[in-house]
Copies of this chain bind each other. A is one copy, B any other.
Amino acid sequence: MIPTATPAYDELAATYARMHHLGHLYAMASWDRAALMPPAGNEARTAALAEMSALLHRMRTDPALGERVARAHQEPLDDLQRANLREIRRDWHAATALPESLVQRREIAASRCEHAWRTLRPANDWAGFLGPFREVVALAREEAALLAEQSGLCRYDALMDRFEPGMTSATVDRLFGDLRQWLPALIDRVVAKQAAEPVVEPRGPFPVDAQKRLGERVMRLLGFDFAAGRLDVSAHPFCGGVPEDVRMTTRYDEREFLSALMGTIHETGHGRYEQNLPRGWLGQPVSLARSAAIHESQSLAFEMQLAGHPGFVARLAPLLADVFGAQPAFEPERLLRLLTRVRRGLIRVDADEVTYPAHVIVRYGIERALIEGEIEPEDIPALWDAGMAELLGVDTRGNFRDGPLQDVHWAEGLFGYFPCYTLGAMYAAQWFAAMRAAMPDLDARIGAGDLTPVFDWLREHIWTQASRWTTDELARRASGQVLDPAHFRAHLESRYL
* Chain A residues near B (Cβ < 8 Å): 18, 21-22, 24-26, 28-29, 32, 36-41, 43-45, 47-52, 55, 225-230, 242, 244-245, 282
Further 13 A-B residue pairs, CB within 8 A, beyond A24-B45, A44-B242: A18-B51, A21-B48, A22-B55, A24-B29, A24-B47, A25-B25, A25-B26, A25-B29, A38-B245, A39-B227, A40-B225, A44-B244, A44-B282
Nearest-neighbour CB distance to chain B for A109, whole angstroms, equals 23
**Interface majority SS (helix, strand, loop, mixed), chain A:** helix
Nearest-neighbour CB distance to chain B for A434, whole angstroms, equals 30
A39 to B40, CA, bound (A): 30
Contact of A245 among B28, B41, B242, B282 (CB under 8 A): B41
> Do A21 and B51 have beta carbons less than 8 Å apart?
yes
Q: Closest chain B residue to A40 by CB distance?
A: B228
A37, A38, A227 — most chain B CB neighbours (10 Å): A38
> Do B51 and A227 have beta carbons less than 8 Å apart?
no
Nearest-neighbour CB distance to chain B for A87, whole angstroms, equals 20
> Do A227 and B48 have beta carbons less than 8 Å apart?
no
Q: Closest chain B residue to A44 by CB distance?
A: B244
Question: When A51-B18, A51-B22 are in contact, do A230 and B38 touch as well, CB less than 8 Å?
Answer: yes
> Do B44 and A24 have beta carbons less than 8 Å apart?
yes
Contacts of A225 in B (CB 8 A): 40
Contact of A41 among B25, B48, B228 (CB under 8 A): B228
A36 to B245, CA, bound (A): 11
Nearest-neighbour CB distance to chain B for A233, whole angstroms, equals 13
Would you give 27 A-B contacts (Cβ < 8 Å), ordered by A? A18-B51, A21-B52, A22-B48, A22-B52, A22-B55, A24-B45, A24-B47, A24-B48, A25-B25, A25-B26, A25-B28, A25-B52, A29-B29, A32-B32, A36-B230, A38-B226, A38-B229, A39-B227, A40-B225, A40-B244, A40-B245, A41-B228, A41-B242, A41-B245, A44-B242, A44-B245, A45-B245
A228 to B45, CA, bound (A): 12
Contact of A32 among B28, B43, B228 (CB under 8 A): B28
Nearest-neighbour CB distance to chain B for A16, whole angstroms, equals 12
A52 to B230, CA, bound (A): 24
A21 to B49, CA, bound (A): 8
Nearest-neighbour CB distance to chain B for A36, whole angstroms, equals 7
Q: Closest chain B residue to A225 by CB distance?
A: B40
Nearest-neighbour CB distance to chain B for A59, whole angstroms, equals 11
Contacts of A282 in B (CB 8 A): 44
A52 to B19, CA, bound (A): 10
